[in-house]
Structure 1
């Protein structure tokens, strides 16, 4: 049975209405597969209605906010869609974030309900939550089912407006003030329409091996379901299990981060699995080494596409690796409808061929950082006509064919396992130790994570603190994805003539082997 996909000039439709349409067209088809459970489109549609009705029963109104902090599951997916159907914005939060940072994000989002699993409920038992916040445990099936509206319940209809917030994705689940990136319903719908040309549709089977709180995941998750395909969820990534699921479910699409490609291709049994069903593989979120791209092209069927961009939006680049095997050292060219420029430290555009900070504009730009207008303004650049661009903080240059070559990450952000770690946040934690004078955190190569953080630290003159003790102390204050691989105690941090710490020199100085 074929289903007509929306054309690029289609009028706005909210994604939950698209799910309702898919349920009417092929309700018995699998929508979500997770572990040993399969949810059909008809069952997903019914669960979305029950969730939306329960949210309305609990007094939530359009444009209110709910948060989800849990491992990927069918319940997670139903809550996300249910909240959207009720006109709410969803703040998906990382379960690996330090409890204090979770509280900060909950306070910033003003979420009225937190949907969490058992592990997160236990994690939050040691902190003081916002007084008005309610928690619904979606990890316990019986508790979640008891919270849902009765079977057969239907919510009051909400006319979703394109400019309403769809989700608030936090760019830094760390200490300090997190930044909530607001993306609209219009942006998500536009991305879904563009996904048709990448082969998403009723016959697509997408294997999701990254968490649902990540925008990396959502750019594949929502188009697959909205266009009538099947999502196969992996709550926890494992290379062998990934290969087994890909073969068993005849997977056609996947979005992975580079370290996952490395682990899958490096598995000793990789070549024994039948992956001939793959039509499209995507990669984003971290530097994708050219050699790894070449290996994927050589050994893994289907097209390989790398995306470069930010959750904040701006402009994105696309590299169709199989079409441009001589450009694997680049991240491709800007997408159609995306405009990208390079500027210097004074905000002036650089000459052709020169390197500069990457800025961009597109239909997929964030509305702004939630309730943080100053940070929103800092992330913006306007041209002489007043048009708004988003600053990436990355440095690059365009080659003679218009392909973007990334030079460095201006903000020194560390990307570990595909997730962002901000060194300044770790440095703030280390600075709390009474025997620490100052510190600088840099990312160093890691076979397992791609990059991992290492801290260079100076201590008080009379301190007897050793590196192992400080590492253990700091990691006790940090979220799971932030933890330090090592601490190096030094007499002084290298600095430029104007006093800036030379982090590149620290990276070069580090000679430890990191797994």
Structure 2
């Protein structure tokens, strides 16, 4: 029988191994003063993988990773993938009951746990018999293994595991801004697309130095983490975000790429140290997670970097991006679909809308999820098929496509306020209120109104050191708003409830006002 060549594919763990083979002494990851070379980084990934295999993990098994930002968190996560497993990073914002629920939902057979999770997770071990292997980092518990022991004892050789593009890479649980978290299942195909499309779009190379500012368990953080490691550059991880530490790190480490959510941009812009900071190394500043107010965007471009990439992304798997050279002509948009994606605008009946008409955003491409874990009905509800029968994913967001194919975000469907029969989009109102000199951040929600059904209420975080009169801001804003948009009031807040990527959880803000509503 004639021998035939393989059908070779590039997989992320194999690509990391190539970086380690050719550049073993180069920094791969730096976090909180600790530096890990590519050789050591990949060696530890292999050690984790070999340990899991030796302890009975089978290909496709789900392994939870409950760890704070650290190099070890990345080594454990990619070790799971290297072993042929499905990594399930879980949020540090969850309660013990929520963690228990998600551990059951994903059918985890093993779990890595760092000290930040110890108090919540250790009591769960007796409640979750399906998890056969518990591994601690930064603490000790009876019957548990230790990450340090794995590094000391397990072999660093590459395990003989063959991946396929359709194998599950990870499950990322949604942030839960509109309900209970859903497990977003992503394959090797999807994660490869995530890595190379963003590497191409944002100019990542092996010489790049990227800084992550948000939790590593969050899907948005992977916009920076995966492309830099894919390209063989150096990833800098902030354990937690601090605006002054951010400025110092960019200057000291000559950071070329970074990702910040709008709330973090506001924190940096407020710091007096910004004026004296040398941020000249920055070529790419990516912002995503929630809409960037136009006034904030202008400040970022002027005071932080002209290399601003503004992304609208849907965790389930598509995105659009506005690039630095496009701000002048398309300032109010979020650009065009990221490489490998398509976007359509739909009406309530599922008909495709022409340019200029607002509707629900739907997307298609190589980076979309394969399904929601154990939620066939909710997966099916997302699907819209185009004229070729391809399955697009509905986003639940309202947008408009212009004649040039640039996308403008209007708002979340579920956040829309219907006042007196008129649709009012909170982002439009927030854009006006945010221009007041005493307002640092604002969230507009709908509250009950006996005549109009609901009306707009603005919750405002004032600029540090100022104590404005709410009525004065309300009157100032109402003088600039359409009649249907006008505010019934302003309330001052110190902070907003947010998810891991800084997106305001508006359902939590609305809940107290609607609890006893009679309308």
TM-score when normalising by structure 1? 0.78
Q: What are the superposed Cα offsets for residues 152-206 of structure 1, whole Å, 9 maximum, x if unpaired?
A: 4425310111111111011145897531111111122123222443221211100
Identify the residue that residue 434 of structure 1 maps to in structure 2.
none
Identify the residue that residue 337 of structure 2 maps to in structure 1.
334
User: Are 2:347 and 1:344 equivalent residues in the alignment?
Assistant: yes
**What aligned pairs does 1:26-37 form with structure 2 within 5 A after superposition?**
26-37=23-34
Out of 61, 64, 79, the residue aligned to residue 76 of structure 2 is: 79
Runs of 4 or more above 4 Å deviation: 125-128, 173-177, 440-448, 480-492
Secondary structure (helix, strand or coil) at the match of 2:275 reads helix
Identify the residue that residue 165 of structure 2 maps to in structure 1.
162
Identify the residue that residue 225 of structure 2 maps to in structure 1.
221
Q: CA deviation at 1:399?
A: 2.6
Cα distance, 1:344–1:445 mapped onto 2, change above 3 Å: farther
Q: Is the 8 A contact 1:53 1:156 kept in 2?
A: yes
**What aligned pairs does 1:216-255 form with structure 2 within 5 A after superposition?**
216-255=220-259
Which whole-Å CA distance do the structure 1 matches of 2:457 and 2:371 have between them?
A: 28
Out of 129, 132, 136, the residue aligned to residue 131 of structure 1 is: 129
Which whole-Å CA distance do the structure 2 matches of 1:285 and 1:484 have between them?
A: 18
Q: Is the 8 A contact 1:104 1:177 kept in 2?
A: no
Identify the residue that residue 439 of structure 2 maps to in structure 1.
none
**Gap regions ≥5 residues in structure 1:** 1-9, 416-420, 424-439, 449-474, 496-515
Q: CA deviation at 1:237?
A: 0.3
Which whole-Å CA distance do the structure 1 matches of 2:255 and 2:209 have between them?
A: 5
Which whole-Å CA distance do the structure 2 matches of 1:83 and 1:143 have between them?
A: 15
Q: Is the 8 A contact 1:97 1:173 kept in 2?
A: no
CA RMSD, Structure 1 to Structure 2 (Å) = 3.1
Cα distance, 1:164–1:488 mapped onto 2, change above 3 Å: closer
Out of 115, 119, 122, the residue aligned to residue 116 of structure 2 is: 119
Which whole-Å CA distance do the structure 2 matches of 1:280 and 1:176 have between them?
A: 33
Which whole-Å CA distance do the structure 2 matches of 1:23 and 1:155 have between them?
A: 12
Cα distance, 1:291–1:177 mapped onto 2, change above 3 Å: closer
Which whole-Å CA distance do the structure 1 matches of 2:226 and 2:514 have between them?
A: 48
Q: Is the 8 A contact 1:86 1:158 kept in 2?
A: yes
Q: What are the superposed Cα offsets for residues 387-409 of structure 1, whole Å, 9 maximum, x if unpaired?
A: 10000001111233332221120
Identify the residue that residue 146 of structure 1 maps to in structure 2.
149
Q: Is the 8 A contact 2:197 2:339 kept in 1?
A: no
User: Are 2:492 and 1:493 equivalent residues in the alignment?
Assistant: no
Which whole-Å CA distance do the structure 2 matches of 1:41 and 1:137 have between them?
A: 24
Cα distance, 1:143–1:491 mapped onto 2, change above 3 Å: closer
Which whole-Å CA distance do the structure 2 matches of 1:296 and 1:75 have between them?
A: 33
Q: Is the 8 A contact 1:294 1:328 kept in 2?
A: no
Cα distance, 1:492–1:46 mapped onto 2, change above 3 Å: closer
Q: Is the 8 A contact 1:293 1:328 kept in 2?
A: no
Secondary structure (helix, strand or coil) at the match of 1:297 reads helix
Which whole-Å CA distance do the structure 2 matches of 1:490 and 1:215 have between them?
A: 31
Q: Is the 8 A contact 1:136 1:147 kept in 2?
A: no
Q: CA deviation at 1:351?
A: 3.7
Secondary structure (helix, strand or coil) at the match of 2:350 reads coil
- Which deviates more, 374-383 or 322-331? 322-331
Identify the residue that residue 503 of structure 1 maps to in structure 2.
none
**Gap regions ≥5 residues in structure 2:** 1-6, 417-425, 428-442, 446-454, 464-496
Identify the residue that residue 42 of structure 1 maps to in structure 2.
39
Identify the residue that residue 52 of structure 1 maps to in structure 2.
49
